[in-house]
């Protein structure tokens, strides 16, 4: 096996190698302090992430999934309520709604950005709608302006699933501050990754902030007095300390991801692959932070190309092969194939290529050359 040839989809170890000394210092600091649940590391990270996003409050929690759960719970989402969200997203977006006994109501996507299509939102709103949850998929903010207009008209709060989009901007405003409550994941492969599970919620509303901080700790306030039905959804001090080492590097990493995305774009053009591999669309006035660089593979050849990449030891992933409305555990919602055609088409054609800040131009050349060899070979065969 030729180790030099292999290009991973993501390389979290590269980041660790560059920060090893600082990370081990931070970990030892926590271990020596004995304060391993909550405490100053968590409080400091909350302030630092809130400041980074331009939000008033940060509430650390155990994962991006729990961030969504806490946000919806703070808005009193419960049985009988509906939350509107795109069907083309990671399962956790809908999972949070269902865990509260509420009903996810799906909307199709804009095929260019794979983000919720705001044109389809308004006719999904009913008297039971409690919130709208756009997902800033792959690192680009959803089209918020029409969402603001519609949700304002119906007096509905927006909960942003910004799990993939920390540092992403919409007209200069950062993800997480584009609605009532913003939810982040620090899953290791996200742009700001912990060494395990972790998450963060940001908001400008002090009452919601307090409620979410209480809900993540069994709804307990003061000690052994339980005001709300909460959970254990706390952020570990160890994760907070490690994330505090990484946060100052996030801007540099986002820029490296953007540079890598620009190199992919140029390579796709250079190899005359535009009609075979559709590049990601970045809308004007967006800062796309490329948690993933996702192309669309034309003519039903996605799976064949993926197999070829696998034999060539090039990492890839399919985000996501099955839209949520077709998931087995959501069959009770009564959806069928054809209900959300843009999402179903995306599920058939998306392909995420290797993307991480340390990815080199040479590695990217190899990725696109490998795609070109395969796609062109197919063209010759077909001719
Ligand atoms: C990663 C992710 C989540 C869940 O975050 P976890 O920290 O893994 O629980 C939720 N929504 C989206 C869109 C994600 O990508």
Domain map of the chain by residue range? 3-9+250-376, 12-248
Q: Pick from 90, 196, 289 the residue to mutate for probing ligand 1's pocket: most ligand atoms within 8 Å of its CB.
A: 90
Measure the CA–CA gap between 352 and 349, rounded to whole angstroms: 10
Helix (H) or strand (E) holding 293: strand 293-297
Residues with Cβ within 8 Å of 97's Cβ and at least 6 positions away in sequence, in order, are 72, 77, 83, 85, 103, 104, 133
Asked whether 355 and 317 are in contact (CB, 8 A), the reply is no
Say if ligand 1 is within 6 A of residue 292 CB: no
Helix (H) or strand (E) holding 199: strand 199-203
Say if ligand 1 is within 6 A of residue 65 CB: yes
Query: pLDDT 10s digit of each residue in the chain, 383 long?
Result: 455 689 999 999 999 999 999 999 999 999 999 999 999 999 999 999 999 999 999 999 999 999 999 999 999 999 999 999 999 999 999 999 999 999 999 999 999 999 999 999 999 999 999 999 999 999 999 999 999 999 999 999 999 999 999 999 999 999 999 999 999 999 999 999 999 999 999 999 999 999 999 999 999 999 999 989 999 999 999 999 999 999 999 999 999 999 999 999 999 999 999 999 999 999 999 999 999 999 999 889 999 999 999 999 999 999 999 999 999 999 999 999 999 999 999 999 999 999 999 999 999 999 999 999 999 886 454 43
For residue 119, give the nearest of 90, 150, 140, 158 by alpha carbon: 150
Domain 12-248 adopts which CATH fold?
A: 3.40.640
Residue nearest to atom 10 of ligand 1 (CA): 92
Q: Print burial letters for 218-240: b (CB count within 10 Å at least 16), e (below 16).
A: bbebeeeeeeeebbebbbbbbbb
Measure the CA–CA gap between 177 and 204, rounded to whole angstroms: 8
199-203 and 57-61: which strand pairing? antiparallel
Residue 30's SS3 state is: helix
Q: Which ligand 1 atom sits nearest the alpha carbon of residue 89?
A: 13
Q: Which ligand 1 atom sits nearest the alpha carbon of residue 68?
A: 10
Say if ligand 1 is within 6 A of residue 140 CB: no
Kindly report the backbone phi and psi dihedral angles of residue 11, in degrees, each rounded to the nearest multiple of 5, phi listed first.
-135, 85
277: left (phi over 0), alpha (psi -120 to 50) or beta: beta
User: pLDDT at position 379, please?
Assistant: 46
User: pLDDT at position 376, please?
Assistant: 86
CA-to-CA dists, residue 26 to 29, 186, 197, 241, 354, angstroms: 5, 17, 17, 6, 29
CATH 3.90.1150.10 assigned to 3-9+250-376: yes
């Amino acid at each position: 096996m030729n180790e030099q040839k292999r290009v991973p989809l993501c390389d979290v170890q590269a980041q660790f190698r560059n920060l090893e000394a600082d990370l081990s210092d931070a970990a030892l600091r926590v271990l020596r302090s004995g304060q391993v649940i909550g405490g100053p590391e968590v409080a400091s990270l909350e302030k630092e992430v809130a400041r980074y996003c331009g939000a008033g409050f940060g509430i650390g929690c155990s994962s991006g999934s729990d961030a969504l759960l806490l946000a919806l719970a703070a808005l009193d989402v419960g049985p009988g309520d509906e939350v509107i969200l795109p069907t083309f997203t990671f399962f956790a977006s809908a999972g949070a709604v269902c865990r509260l006994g509420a009903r996810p109501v799906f909307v199709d996507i804009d095929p260019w950005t794979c983000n919720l299509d705001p044109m389809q939102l308004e006719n999904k709103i009913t008297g039971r709608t409690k919130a709208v949850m756009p997902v800033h998929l792959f690192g680009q903010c959803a089209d918020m302006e029409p969402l603001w207009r519609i949700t304002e008209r119906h007096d509905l709060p927006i909960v942003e699933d910004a799990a993939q989009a920390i540092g992403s901007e919409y007209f200069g405003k950062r993800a997480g501050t584009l609605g009532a409550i913003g939810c982040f994941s620090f899953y290791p492969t996200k742009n700001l990754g912990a060494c395990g599970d972790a998450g963060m919620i940001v908001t400008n509303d002090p009452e919601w902030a307090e409620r979410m901080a209480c809900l993540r700790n069994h709804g307990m306030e003061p000690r052994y007095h339980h005001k709300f039905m909460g959970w254990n959804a706390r952020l570990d001090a160890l994760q907070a300390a490690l994330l505090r080492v990484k946060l100052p590097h996030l801007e540099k990493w986002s820029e490296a991801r953007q540079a890598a995305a620009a190199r992919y774009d140029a390579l796709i053009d250079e190899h005359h692959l535009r009609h075979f591999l559709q590049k990601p669309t970045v809308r004007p006035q967006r800062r796309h932070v490329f948690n993933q660089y996702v192309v669309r593979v034309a003519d039903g050849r996605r799976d064949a190309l993926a197999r070829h990449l696998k034999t060539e030891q090039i990492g890839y992933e399919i985000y996501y092969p099955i839209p949520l409305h077709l998931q087995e555990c959501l069959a009770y919602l009564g959806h069928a194939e054809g209900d959300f055609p843009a999402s179903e088409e995306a599920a058939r054609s998306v392909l995420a290529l290797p993307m991480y800040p340390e990815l080199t131009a040479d590695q990217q050349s190899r990725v696109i050359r490998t795609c070109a060899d395969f796609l062109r070979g197919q063209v010759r065969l077909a001719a």
